[in-house]
A and B are shown apart, each in its own frame.
Chain A
Amino acid sequence: MGVKKFVVGNFYDEAVLFPAVKKTRRAGYKIHDVFTPFPIHGLDKAMGLRDTSLHTAGFIYGISGTTLAVGFITWALSIDWQLNFGGKPYFALPAWIPIAFELTVLFAAVGMVLTFCYLCQLAPFVKKDHFNPRSTDDTFVMAVECTEKTNETEAISFLQSVGAQDVQVMYRETGWWIGRYDRDTIRFSKKVEAAN
């Protein structure tokens, strides 16, 4: 996790943000991320992000739940220890539908939430920086990553021209680290000379 340089602009209206995102991409800048206080439909498309395949993962987890339930009950009741319940067959599939269904849902839900947390790298005691704390309140924050080719002053004036306000250059460590939000002074996981 290296420390990188970003040009960060704030937006207060999603109607301004949308065209700005498109223009910034067209101008060839590398958008690191846009932080928003609530989901904005279509912003992922505007940023050129691909669709998530979390649903597919959920489907696979669900199917494994069904298979496990039906497989295990079949083995337990019709192979391992056959018990006669009211003269019903040992392989009493209709009676197993409820549990098979419940396990399908359970596996899909738990699996998806864990996958979601893994993909987004979310966990207790994980600390991440998102440039502006107001981005969970009312501000849409666009962070443009500075590569070797990026001209800083040009990037700033470009963002201002597309409607961003309070455009600043910021040094941030990307990714996450184990940390606490009450220790704001510790900005980076390692002490980096170049940071300031």
Chain B
Amino acid sequence: MSLLRYESQVRPALVHGDKSYHQITEDICRPVETKPSRLWWIGFIISVALLIFGIISVTTEVIYGVGQWNLNKTVGWGWDITNFVWWVGIGHAGTLISAILLLFRQGWRTGVNRAAEAMTIFAVMCAGQFPVWHMGRVWDAFFVLPYPNTRGPLWVNFNSPLLWDVFAISTYFTVSLLFWYSGLLPDLATLRDRAKLKWRKMFYGVASFGWTGSTKHWQRHEALSLVLAGLSTPLVLSVHTIVSFDFATSVVPGWHTTIFPPYFVAGAIFSGFAMVQTLLVVTRKVLGLQEYITIEHVEVMNKVIVLTGSIVGIAYLTELFISWYGASPYENFAFMQNRVNLFSPYGWSYWIMMFCNVASPQVFWSRKMRRNLTVTFFMSILINIGMWFERFVIIVTSIYRDYLPSAWSTYYTPTIWEVGFYLGTFGLFFTCFFLFAKYFPVIAVAEIKHILKRSGDNFKEKMDVIENESTEQFAEEQLHEH
């Protein structure tokens, strides 16, 4: 029995400290069951304030129209779509961690998956705001849905990448939400059964759907998680691929690139992991969960960051090379003049992107840096900035000077309402995250218990005996056990 749980000593323990099942429940449920700290309140109030500012900005835009933003004839997609792609990208890490790493049987995902999935859902919620409010006449937003209408019925254009996006983002949001919530059910039941207060018992009672932990239910739950992971894996890759199609299928120089799908997906994972780091480095400290979100977790994610950051770097260089090698004067102009030329109006943004996304993550080749929390936090912020600039570079520098010089726009700068809308989505994101961290277990309790006897510190010590055993003896025992 115990041999089935064997894990090599080479792998670091994923749960530190002397833990039992009950101790895990206690540790993870504590933040939910105690009063929030002052730090929580400060963060929460700032987030709500930002959210309110965002609502005001959006209201202004709805009343006066998209003209409130500084978009112009050539730069029709400015901050708005930049922010959309940025948030969607951030929303990729959660499902990657919970789905792809589940299929790859990566034990370390259990410490971070719940929070990362929550982050995914909130990020996609933020992302969805941008195209919707960009429509201007937002009350007609339902026109994007194929429903029998009095205009013919005239159907939506199923051949258009923008419509693919509608389906991709809404499917992604729904599936992520289902995946996240079905995983939460057992943990909500744990909270319910521990609850002393009446309202808490009622709230978690309703939220846990009457989960009991019956063996049959667990069996179905496992099957469900596995199939949802299998479905989410191609889904998560498809979503950013389709977002990249918004650009790649057009004929705008700088967008018309076949490399976009893999390059966007790598970039999405890169920025998503950076955001996970930003949140978890703080969360583990504030909620005292250092024994579950260990330095090993941080290190592994930094490895993913250096890998995807380098993929993104290769993609940037490939684009540059092809724009030169392809010898299309328009492509060449878009890359060499609008971007690489530091002295062109937006040249600075290209070099910020290059520095933040390609040069700076290389520090993570050093193990010492990967395991340094301050460096990790600082880098995660830097990468988020860099990835925002990547989208800004792709969108704005490609369209502000296109084929017709007479149509070249004046320098595009956003208005306060455009910026306010962006800040407002930060408010939405962090308001949701703060509420999540207060009312839901930020770590998957049941999944941590599942790996405890294999990867827990106190249990791994006992494995030494097995490791020192001779192969013959091991084989002998195996033979007699059955």
Contacts and interface: CB of A to CB of B under 8 A. Distances in A.
Interface of A: 15, 18, 33-41, 43-44, 47, 49, 51-52, 54-55, 58, 62, 72-73, 76-77, 80-81, 83, 85, 88, 92, 95-96, 98-99, 101-103, 105-106, 108-110, 112-113, 116-117, 119-130, 133-138, 176, 180-182, 184
A43 B217 CA distance: 12
Contacts of A124: 206-207, 209
B336 interface: no
B213 A135 contact: yes
A88 to B, nearest CB: 7
Nearest to B191: A136
B20 A44 contact: no
Given A33-B214, A36-B215, A180-B205, 16 more contacts: A18-B1, A33-B215, A35-B214, A54-B220, A76-B158, A98-B167, A102-B168, A105-B231, A105-B235, A108-B231, A113-B228, A134-B193, A136-B186, A138-B20, A138-B449, A181-B201
A127 B221 contact: no
B171 A88 contact: no
The 7 residue pairs across chains A and B that have the minimum distance between CB atoms: A181-B205, A126-B210, A138-B21, A133-B193, A130-B212, A122-B209, A182-B201
Contacts of B178: 109-110, 113
A137 B194 CA distance: 8
Contact of A108 (B154, B214, B227): B227
Given A80-B153, A116-B182, A127-B205, A35 B212 contact: yes
Contacts of B158: 73, 76-77, 95-96, 99
A41 to B, nearest CB: 8
Contacts of B103: none
A55 B204 CA distance: 29
B153 A176 contact: no
Contacts of A116: 182, 220-221, 224
Contacts of A137: 21-22, 25, 190, 193-194
Interface of B: 1-2, 20-22, 25, 146, 152-155, 157-161, 163-164, 167-168, 171, 174-175, 178-179, 182, 185-186, 189-190, 192-195, 198-199, 201-202, 204-207, 209-224, 227-228, 231-232, 234-235, 238, 242, 245, 446-447, 449-450
A130 B214 contact: yes
Contact of A101 (B189, B209, B223, B234): B234
Contacts of A55: 223, 227
Nearest to A98: B164
A52 B210 contact: no
B231 A126 contact: no
Given A81-B152, A137-B193, A112 B216 contact: no
A39 B102 CA distance: 15
A181 B178 CA distance: 23
B146 A72 contact: yes
A40 B213 CA distance: 11
16 contacts: A36-B213, A37-B446, A43-B218, A80-B155, A105-B171, A109-B231, A109-B232, A110-B174, A113-B224, A117-B209, A136-B190, A138-B22, A180-B201, A180-B202, A181-B202, A182-B205
A119 B231 CA distance: 21
B96 to A, nearest CB: 15
Nearest to B158: A73
Nearest to B164: A98
B10 to A, nearest CB: 23
Contacts of A77: 155, 158-159
B411 to A, nearest CB: 33
B475 to A, nearest CB: 22
A36 B235 contact: no
Contacts of A133: 193-194
Nearest to B163: A99
Contacts of A121: 210
A114 to B, nearest CB: 9
A129 B31 CA distance: 27
B1 A81 contact: no
B211 A182 contact: no
A105 B215 contact: no
A98 B213 contact: no
Contacts of B190: 37, 136-137
Contacts of B447: 38
Given A39-B222, A137-B22, A181 B216 contact: no
Nearest to B245: A98
Contact of A138 (B25, B164, B198, B235): B25
A182 B199 contact: yes
A44 B215 contact: yes
A81 B350 CA distance: 45
A121 B25 CA distance: 25
